Amino acid sequence: MRQKRHVVIFVEGDTDKVFFDRLVQYYRQNSETPVASCEVRNLHGVSRYNGKLSGKLKGQIIPAAARKGMEVQAVCCSYDTDVFEYAERPVVDWKRVAAEVKRLGIKEFCEVKVEQMMEDWLLDDIKGVCSYLKLKKKPGSVQGQNGYERLQHLYKAANNVYVKGLGASALIGALDMGVIRDKRKETLKELEAVLGVKIEGSPGR
Amino acid sequence: MSNVIRNIRIGGITNIAEVSVPLEALTALVAPNNYGKSNVLQGVEFAVRFLTATPQERRGMMAQRKLIPINQSMDNRPFEFEISGTAAGYDYEYGYRFEWATTKEGLTGQRITGEWLRAKGTDEPTLERMQSQAGLSFAERGGGRRSQPKYRSLLKREGETEALMAPTPTSRCSKPLAVDGVTLALDRLGALDKLFFAALVRELQGLSVQRVNTLDNPDGIFSTPYPQGGTELYSTAMPRSGETGYFINSLRRLAPERYELLRSTLLQLIPDIEDFEPVQVDLSERADVPFQMPNTYYDIRVKERHNNQYTSINSVSTGCKKILWVLTMAMAASMNGVALLMFEELENSVHPRLLQSLLQVVDVLAGDTKVMTTSHSPFLVKYLRPERIYLGLPSPEGVADFRTIRPSKVKKVLQLASGEDTSVGEYLFEMMLDAEADQEMLDEYFVR
């Protein structure tokens, strides 16, 4: 019997976990075609990335999927292309990760390179961010050298502190994922393909 | 912030021969136990206190036994302190030197022997700008060469009684100033009328640093029957030990926006705390007396997610108390213009996964106040940029030798760390522990 397709998205932190959970939810609500079974796994940083990913696939995810009659057929790794001030700083060898995934018998592997960091994507819906922060109007210029600093600048204007990861859940819940997805659809193309997503002219599977 | 410091250099105290630390928003001194991390913080606090101490107090400070270096490689080494930064429209470097008290016959000690102040205006016209205004072409101005305004001496002192100052913005530093072994020339400058750099002198005299010992038992941090000193009902001055509850009460009344910021930040950091609010109970009876003794008990009450009632903050975990204390001190430092806030082991009692968030939040709440922390936790250093980490490396003489990674080696260490699937901070931490007096390797990778 042919097993049901299961996709795993690995992310490197709490913010990304919340974001991709919401994105998958958005896909399910808006895709014209059925979206594959999918789970988002948080590796909590990029230290020992390959080992953690391999261990979780072998020890937990693949057996659990098999128990439900599913097969892990695709793995997607999402990561920020830049690091914020207080991030861990190893460089992950993505070719090595891809080889490890293949070694585990998983046919498909793709990457989602978040330019420059997840906060830049959240700011794609700046109207939603300002509305969440109850800022009466969007500041003329949002200062900061990267998405984290720019988001922190907006939080400051709202007398608040943005805490990466911890503070992202409520914020992301208030954002319009359609706006962000539209702006980042090129980057998300491969992920949408492995998930079988088809939204208004997106390539789908 | 009126005095933003960029670098601190200190030496000739305890086992610190010389340590120079460029300060960024958050800098860490990382070393094994009993290495000298706390000595640096203690030394900086001591040095700044010396600036405003009375001559009598200074005499005592120069004889403080527990601070006098007794390491054999530091015999007769004078205490030296230098700070650089920006204040009152100047980029400045100020420092002083003194000899410790001595018991050896024939030697004099306990006297200030050196002092210097060099500065340049932050908006001083550069040579390049002046040439441009004079209509000189790019080539005539020397092509791509850039000129910077130079530091000039405003104060020079070599020896106990010889000090010179610059009397006007254009004159040389040559006007004698009377000083003695327990008087800083800064004291004299502060008393002069019409000094052209009086504002800078005032900033240096008002320099403030604060040390927070997160290793202290947190039980007495929040609750106090009444604050020490002062008769005002509320104050947002830097809280002393036991005054955190009083400070937060005051914050709510005097600076409600700041209070809300502190509150929302804590609730984000510790989701198990649903709510907290400062409370106060007045224990005294009102009477028509010349002085009503303040007898108000300040506390914080907390609602934890799974509890059916509010409790005193003293009932919550040590880690929660310490986090609230750290956040409060960061905010208080920012509000009070503290130039440098120093934490002893910021990571103490904090869950490793929360450290990254704590670092972010302290950075934001401290504003322009620079933060320095000691640490021996690989969990903390992995979240810091390598340039922000000062490692205590083994030294043959047994003196503290804090160094940071050479800028030219950052990329290489990043590659090596990645090869081991570890963070740069953790990798550096391991290097520090493995170094074992391999001086060649230390010199190759690290710089003072």
* pLDDT beyond 50 at A144: yes
Contact: A86, B424; criterion CB under 8 Å: no
Crossing angle for the helix pair A185-195 and A14-30, to the nearest 10 degrees? 70
What's the CATH class of domain A4-116+181-195?
Answer: alpha beta
pLDDT computed for residue A205 by the predictor: 44
Specify the pairing of strand B370-375 against strand B19-22: unpaired
Please report the ipTM that was assigned to this predicted complex. Answer: 0.86
Q: Which residues of A touch B (CB under 8 A)?
A: 44-51, 85-93, 152, 156, 159-161, 163-167
Q: Looking at the structure, do residues B230 and B132 belong to the same domain, yes or no?
A: no
Q: Out of A138-147, B234-243, B386-395, pick the least confident.
A: A138-147
CATH code at position B148: 3.40.50
Q: What is the pLDDT of residue B230?
A: 62
- C-alpha neighbours within 13 Å on the C-beta side of residue B98: 27
Residue B197 in domain: yes
Residue that terminates a domain, selected from B300, B327, B354: B327
Residue B378 and residue B311 share a domain: no
- Tell me: pLDDT of B210 over 80: yes
Of the three residues B327, B346, B373, the one that is the final residue of a domain is B327
Q: Does one domain contain both B99 and B200? A: yes
* pLDDT at B24 > cutoff 70: yes
Q: Is the pLDDT confidence value at B297 over 90? A: no
- Model pTM score: 0.89
pLDDT in tens, B391-408: 998 888 889 999 999 999
| Optimal mutation site among A96, A117, A155, A163, interface B, most CBs of chain B within 10 A | A163
Residues B352 and B419 in one domain: yes
Q: Inter-chain contact A163–B268, Cβ cutoff 8 Å?
A: yes
Indicate the number of domains in chain B. 2
Q: How far is A137 from chain B (nearest CA, A)?
A: 19
pLDDT digits (tens, 9 = 90+) for B337-378: 999 999 999 998 888 888 999 999 999 999 999 999 999 888
- B47: containing domain: 1-208+337-448
**B269-301: b (≥16 Cβ within 10 Å) or e:** bbeebeebebbbeeeeeeeeeeeeeeebebbbe
Question: For B221-279, what is each residue's pLDDT tens digit?
Answer: 887 666 665 667 788 999 987 889 999 999 999 999 999 999 999 999 998 999 999 99
User: What DSSP string runs through B245-289?
Assistant: HHHHHHHHHH-HHHHHHHHHHHHHH-TTEEEEEEEEEE-SPP---
pLDDT of residue B104: 85
Q: How confident is the model at residue B441 (pLDDT cuts 50, 70, 90)?
A: confident
pLDDT at A172: 96
| Per-residue pLDDT, B435 | 65
- Band of the pLDDT at B189, cuts 50, 70, 90? very high
Domain edge (last residue) among B270, B294, B327: B327
Contacts A49 to B, Cβ<8 Å: 421
Q: Do A163 and B269 touch (CB under 8 A)?
A: yes
Contact B360 A164 (CB under 8 A): yes
* Cross-strand partners of A39: A8
CA distance A70 to A4: 4
B420 & B445 share domain = yes
Residue B168's region, left for phi above 0, alpha for psi from -120 to 50, else beta, is beta
Which of the pair, A58 or A47, is modelled with greater confidence?
A: A58
Share of chain B above pLDDT 90, in %: 63
Taking each helix axis as running N to C, give the angle between helix B256-269 and helix B352-366, from 0 to 180 degrees, rounded to the nearest 10.
Answer: 160
Residue B213 lies in a domain: no
Residues found in chain B? 448
| Distance set, CA B293 to CA B224, B237, B254, B278, B307 (Å) | 14, 20, 22, 21, 36
Residues B405 and B260 in one domain: no
- Over 60: is that where the pLDDT of B153 sits? yes
What residue spans define the domains of chain A?
4-116+181-195, 120-169
Span B62-103, pLDDT tens digits: 999 999 999 999 998 999 999 999 999 999 999 999 999 998
Domain-located, residue B196: yes
Place of tokens 């047994």: B398
**pLDDT at residue A129 in the model:** 96
Q: Which of A20-24, A102-106, B238-242 has the lowest mean pLDDT?
A: B238-242
Asked if A89's CB is within 8 angstroms of B423's CB, the reply is yes
What was the pLDDT predicted at B428?
Answer: 86
